[in-house]
A and B are shown apart, each in its own frame.
Chain A
Amino acid sequence: MTLAMDQAVLVRAGQQVLRGVSMQVAAGEIVGLLGANGAGKSSMLGVLAGDVRLQAGTATLAGQPLASLPFAQLARQRAVLVQQPAVQFDLSVAEIVAMGAYPFPELSATEVADQVAQALALTGLHAASARPYLDLSGGEQQRVHYARALVQCRAGRQAGDARFLLLDEPTANQDPAQQQHVLAVAARLTRDEGVGVLAVLHDINLAARWCDRILLLAEGALIGAGSPDQALTPDRLLRAYGVEMAVVPHPIHAGRLLVMMR
């Protein structure tokens, strides 16, 4: 069970945003998508979410072309967290999180309430449940949408559908402890429920710590794919970000630490 693209070419405003990218996310793994601003990370996520059509190549979910799947069916197969949606209306935290269950009308009100409670607990928002969304801080608001995506994902597992979770900068606006927690929750989802996660991340060390595999994008092309050790080498990072980085042994645990030379 994979979410994949093969030889994907995406053109936007005359510019090739994706240049023949082939990649896949398998069920049960968490994959980090890294690259400089404008490298094509969000575009790749948009293609895999079914929002954007490719000019050439294919994007498939469990072998079926994404373009052939109706949105209602897609919504049962994958959840998406995009960068901070702007909500102007007075909805409570629980009301927004409960929207994650909309693709599953067969769930009872109690089942939905249960899923919502669990997602709120996982994202540390349990106490904020009845509060107006607009009263929360930016970081908390982002976590509300994360909780909504978690409900969509876990309700999907409950309904027996295959699940993928696509996260565009889930750690944006989060403090260091919350950044770890957000990824820990995603990692647990892959392990316990067999969900495949693709997360756009900016913090290289965070990605190395939590991801099973890394995809490194530069100017619309994949320049590294594999385990964090394989993908995150100083020369690749130089190509991706244009800065020199050193790989040093982590002072506390067995992993490695990437530090900027400047």
Chain B
Amino acid sequence: MALPAEALRAGGRRPVALMGLACALAVVAVAAMSSGAMRLDLLDVWSTLLGRDPGLDTLARSVLLDVRLPRVLFAAITGAALALTGAVMQALFRNPLAEPGLIGVSAGGALGAVAAIVLTSGGFWILAPAAFSGSLAATALAYLLGRRVPGVAGLLLAGVAINTIAGSLIGLLTTLANDTELRDLTFWSMGSLSDARWHLLVWLAPWTLLWSGWLLRQWRVLNALLLGDREAQHLGWRLVTVRRQLIVVTALIVGPLVAATGGIGFIGLVVPHLLRLTLGADHRWLLPASMLGGALALTLADWLCRVVIMPAELPIGLVTSLVGGPFFVWLLARGRRL
């Protein structure tokens, strides 16, 4: 009777995969911190991060600790959170194509943020709750509308509708904006991690990680939801409560991130998918793997954005969509087995 126990633990393949992702993330992060307009030695970066003093001059030290370290951390945390919320939404909607960008959650957040920029004095402390409210409203709307038409189609159609409505309202608000607001808007909507500074990270990082930790602990109910609503209920969960909690926590994570970074699409779709292909759909492993994979993917993408057309920068949203768009097409073309 050793076989099922072995199958449950997948022969140790999954812990190894998690370790591998963590190592890759560390390597990419250090590499990303060493490259840029001012090139730093890999070993110097490593030992500075470990708290030693390799004798970097003040400027180099400041570039590393005040600019690149927060930027890489920001990319990693954003990627981790987007991939995690993507994986959670796919289970919640029982739909492998659910993703904050596709179903309009990010657009809702964007609408909230744009409204805050144009209609108020602005500032991140107004932007974040406004983006959260927008995300929450969009998720709830996607959930309600998506249920009207069963299967993948309903949710995607709801996403199209929400993205359209949010997009047109954003357009309307843009016409109302004055020059300063317009500059803020353009800068923000490009989707960028260049706003990464410690004052932002000190609260955004713990906030995101706190709620992510809560989501990680929901792996059982997310697995049960894959079987169906009734089945999850038979296994002991009150669905109304579970759904409400998952939707609110997802919006609590995505809203402020959208406010801080603008729109970064497809991470939540691509990363959980690739991981599901190799590790299976069991959320006990999929959720932590998605966080590591998302962190790795966005750190890598941001690194590319910074160095490809140096000294200028590519908008990161552009890069993730450039990879994610074709991937989405491939998913659709691939058919049922998702």
Is the beta-carbon distance between A129 and B338 smaller than 8 angstroms?
Answer: no
- In the complex formed, the residue of B with least CB distance to A104 is B236
- With both chains docked as a complex, state the minimum distance between the C-beta of B123 and any C-beta of chain A, in angstroms: 42
Is the beta-carbon distance between B224 and A102 smaller than 8 angstroms?
Answer: yes
Task: Give chain A residues whose Cβ lies under 8 Å from the Cβ of B230.
Answer: 51, 80, 82, 85
Is the beta-carbon distance between B280 and A92 smaller than 8 angstroms?
Answer: yes
Question: Which of A1-9, A11-19, A110-118, A240-248 lines the interface with chain B?
Answer: A110-118
- In the complex formed, the residue of A with least CB distance to B238 is A71
Question: Which of A25-33, A93-101, A206-214, A216-224 lines the interface with chain B?
Answer: A93-101
- A134 at the binding interface (Cβ < 8 Å): yes
- B7 at the binding interface (Cβ < 8 Å): yes
Name which of A86, A89, A110, A114 has the most chain B CB atoms within 10 A of its CB: A89
- A126 at the binding interface (Cβ < 8 Å): yes
Contact of B233 (CB < 8 Å), options: A51, A92, A100:
A51
Give the docked Cα–Cα distance between A116 and B4 (Å): 7
Q: Mark B227-251, 1 if CB is under 8 A from A, else 0.
A: 1101101111110000000000000
Task: Give chain A residues whose Cβ lies under 8 Å from the Cβ of B276.
Answer: 89-90
Q: Mark B146-178, 1 if CB is under 8 A from A, else 0.
A: 000000000000000000000000000000000
Kindly state the interface size class of chain A when it binds its partner: 35 or more
Asked whether A113 and B8 contact (CB < 8 A) given A130-B3, A152-B235, the answer is yes
- In the complex formed, the residue of B with least CB distance to A96 is B227
Task: Give chain A residues whose Cβ lies under 8 Å from the Cβ of B277.
Answer: 90
Task: Give chain B residues whose Cβ lies under 8 Å from the Cβ of A91.
Answer: 223, 226, 280-282
Is the beta-carbon distance between A103 and B228 smaller than 8 angstroms?
Answer: no
- In the complex formed, the residue of A with least CB distance to B220 is A102
Is the beta-carbon distance between A85 and B280 smaller than 8 angstroms?
Answer: no
- A68 at the binding interface (Cβ < 8 Å): no
Give the docked Cα–Cα distance between A124 and B104 (Å): 45
- In the complex formed, the residue of A with least CB distance to B5 is A113
Contact of B3 (CB < 8 Å), options: A72, A89, A117:
A117
- B197 at the binding interface (Cβ < 8 Å): no
- B16 at the binding interface (Cβ < 8 Å): no
Q: Is the interface of B mostly helix, strand, loop or mixed?
A: helix
Contact of A89 (CB < 8 Å), options: B1, B231, B235, B281:
B281
Q: Mark A109-142, 1 if CB is under 8 A from B, else 0.
A: 1101110111011000010011010100000000
- B57 at the binding interface (Cβ < 8 Å): no
Contact of A99 (CB < 8 Å), options: B4, B96, B227, B338:
B227
> Count the B residues whose beta carbon is within 8 Å of the partner chain — how many?
33
- B6 at the binding interface (Cβ < 8 Å): yes
Task: Give chain A residues whose Cβ lies under 8 Å from the Cβ of B3.
Answer: 117, 126, 129-130
Task: Give chain B residues whose Cβ lies under 8 Å from the Cβ of A76.
Answer: 236
Give the docked Cα–Cα distance between A79 and B235 (Å): 8
- B337 at the binding interface (Cβ < 8 Å): yes
Give the docked Cα–Cα distance between A143 and B227 (Å): 14
Interface residues of B in 248-298 (CB under 8 A from A): 276-277, 280-282
Task: Give chain A residues whose Cβ lies under 8 Å from the Cβ of B235.
Answer: 75, 99-100, 102-103, 152
Contact of B224 (CB < 8 Å), options: A90, A99, A130, A132:
A99
Is the beta-carbon distance between B236 and A95 smaller than 8 angstroms?
Answer: no
Give the docked Cα–Cα distance between A79 and B4 (Å): 21
Contact of B7 (CB < 8 Å), options: A85, A92, A109:
A92
Is the beta-carbon distance between A110 and B5 smaller than 8 angstroms?
Answer: yes
Give the docked Cα–Cα distance between A88 and B90 (Å): 11
- With both chains docked as a complex, state the minimum distance between the C-beta of B125 and any C-beta of chain A, in angstroms: 39
Give the docked Cα–Cα distance between A51 and B238 (Å): 10
Interface residues of B in 1-50 (CB under 8 A from A): 1, 3-8
Contact of B4 (CB < 8 Å), options: A50, A51, A87, A94:
A94
Interface residues of A (CB under 8 A from B): 49-51, 70-76, 79-80, 82, 85-100, 102-103, 109-110, 112-114, 116-118, 120-121, 126, 129-130, 132, 134, 145, 152
Interface residues of B (CB under 8 A from A): 1, 3-8, 91, 94-96, 220, 223-224, 226-228, 230-231, 233-238, 276-277, 280-282, 336-338
Q: List 27 A-B contacts (CB under 8 A).
A: A51-B230, A71-B236, A72-B238, A75-B235, A76-B236, A85-B230, A88-B94, A88-B226, A89-B91, A89-B338, A90-B281, A92-B7, A92-B280, A92-B282, A95-B281, A97-B4, A102-B220, A102-B223, A102-B235, A103-B235, A113-B5, A113-B8, A114-B1, A117-B5, A130-B3, A130-B4, A145-B227
